Chain A
Amino acid sequence: MRAEEKVKGGKLVCIELLAEGSTVASVKITGDFFLHPEDAIDSLERSLMGVDLASGESEIAARLKKALGDSQLIGASPDDLARLFRKAVIG
C-alpha cells in the first residue's frame, strides 16, 4: 500500500505500508522533507508498526506527534502523514 502527496506549501511525502492481516507490519516514510534530527524517522516509522489498518486519522496523527516529540519535521506535519496513511490504506 502506497500513497504520495506534495504537501501544500511543503514537500513531497510518500508512505509505504505492508500489512499482515489487519495490522501494519512495515512502514517506510520517504520524500524530500526535512527532519531534525534525521534519526527521528525511525521513531516515526516504529510508531505505526502493529497499528490497526482501520485506525482513524486522528489516532495516527496522535501516535506520530508523540513519536516526534521535540524533533522538528519541516515541509510536512504529522497530520499530513496521517492523511497519507489513510490514503494508502484506502488505496
Chain B
Amino acid sequence: MRWRVIDYSENDAYLNMAIDEAISEAVAKGGAPTIRFYGWNPSAVSIGYFQSLEHEVDIGHCADIGVDIVRRRTGGGAVYHDHQGEITYSVIGKEERFPKDILASYRLICGWITDSLGLLGIKSEFRPINDIVVGEKKISGNAQTRRGGVLLQHGTILHSVDVDTMFSVLRVSDEKIRDKMIATVRERVTSVSQQRNVSRDELYGALLSGFTKGKDFGLGDLSDGERNRALELVENRYLTREWNAMR
C-alpha cells in the first residue's frame, strides 16, 4: 500500500499526540501507512507513558514560561520540544510492515534518520535501545508503541539545543547535581546545527528524502475523520489531568 506523507505542520502538544493516535486508529481500520512531520507550538515537554509527571517535570515553571506538558502513549523519557529547535516525525503502519522484533524495527526506522543526516554530511548511528548518536552524543530520541496491530514510532531530531531551558523544565532529583548534569548533557547531546551549518528547512528536506527513499508515496493530509477524532482525543484524553497525571 502506498505511503501517505503528511507535510510539516505545527500544533500544540495535545493535538500532536492526538493526531498520532487518530492516524493509528485509521491505519488499524485499513488506512494508508503514514509518515508525518511536525513541530510543537508552543514549546512543550512530553513525558513517557510510564513516567511520573511530578518527578519528571517542573509543572509550575512550565506554566510560568508557557511550556505545555503532555503524556505520550509511548514509553521512554521526558523530552523538551523546543518550538524552533527540532523536527518531530511519526511513522504509523500495520505491524506486519515492520520487523516483529522491536529493536529491529527501531533500527529500521532509525535508519531512515541516519540516512537523512548522511545527506547533510553528518555521520550518525543507531544506538539501541532508541537513540541515534553522532560519535557518543545523542542527536535523536525515538519511542515506539504497538497497539491493535499498528506500530507507531515517533521521535525528534535536534536542530539546535537549548540546554538551559531544557533543565529548567525537567526536574532533576537532586538539585545539588543540577549544574553537573547540565554540563554532562552539554557533553552528551548534540544537534544538527552543531555538526553542520544547516538550516532547519534544509534538515527537513533531508528528512523528507531519507524517509521516503525507495518508497511508493504521495503527499497527503489528514482526513476529516482523523481530524475530528484528534479533536475528540484532545478533549477526552490529552488535555485531561486523568491522563497527564495518571502516574
The finding on whether chains A and B are genuine partners in a shared complex, rather than unrelated, reads yes
Residues of A within 8 A of B (CB): 4, 10-12, 14, 28-38, 41, 72, 74-75
Interface residues on B, range: 20 to 34
Whether B52 and A35, one on each chain, are in contact in the complex, defined by CB atoms closer than 8 angstroms, is no
- Residues on the A chain within 8 Å of B78, using CB: 32
Whether A37 and B144, one on each chain, are in contact in the complex, defined by CB atoms closer than 8 angstroms, is no
Q: How far is the CA of A51 from the CA of B74 in the complex (A)?
A: 29
Whether B129 and A74, one on each chain, are in contact in the complex, defined by CB atoms closer than 8 angstroms, is yes
Question: Is B123's CB within 8 Å of the partner chain A?
Answer: no
Whether A33 and B50, one on each chain, are in contact in the complex, defined by CB atoms closer than 8 angstroms, is yes
Whether A29 and B50, one on each chain, are in contact in the complex, defined by CB atoms closer than 8 angstroms, is yes
Whether B102 and A38, one on each chain, are in contact in the complex, defined by CB atoms closer than 8 angstroms, is no
Whether B247 and A30, one on each chain, are in contact in the complex, defined by CB atoms closer than 8 angstroms, is yes
Question: Is B184's CB within 8 Å of the partner chain A?
Answer: no
Whether A33 and B146, one on each chain, are in contact in the complex, defined by CB atoms closer than 8 angstroms, is no
Q: How far is the CA of A36 from the CA of B247 in the complex (A)?
A: 17
Q: How far is the CA of A33 from the CA of B247 in the complex (A)?
A: 14
Whole-angstrom distance from the CB of B218 to the nearest CB of chain A? 30
Contact with A along B123-160 (1 / 0, CB 8 A): 00000011000000000000111110000000000000
Known: A4-B173, A74-B129, A75-B129. A31 touches B102 (CB 8 A): no
How many A-B pairs with Cβ below 8 Å? Answer: 57
**Residue in chain A with minimal CB distance to B147:** A37
Known: A37-B147, A38-B49, A74-B129. A32 touches B77 (CB 8 A): yes
Known: A36-B102, A36-B145, A41-B50. A28 touches B75 (CB 8 A): no
Known: A4-B173, A74-B102, A75-B129. A32 touches B52 (CB 8 A): no
- Residues on the A chain within 8 Å of B31, using CB: none
Question: Is B111's CB within 8 Å of the partner chain A?
Answer: no
Question: Is B42's CB within 8 Å of the partner chain A?
Answer: no
**Residue in chain A with minimal CB distance to B76:** A32
Q: How far is the CA of A78 from the CA of B58 in the complex (A)?
A: 30
Whether A38 and B51, one on each chain, are in contact in the complex, defined by CB atoms closer than 8 angstroms, is no
16 contacts between A and B (CB under 8 A): A4-B173, A10-B129, A14-B55, A28-B247, A29-B50, A31-B51, A32-B50, A32-B51, A32-B77, A34-B74, A36-B102, A36-B145, A36-B146, A38-B75, A38-B145, A41-B50
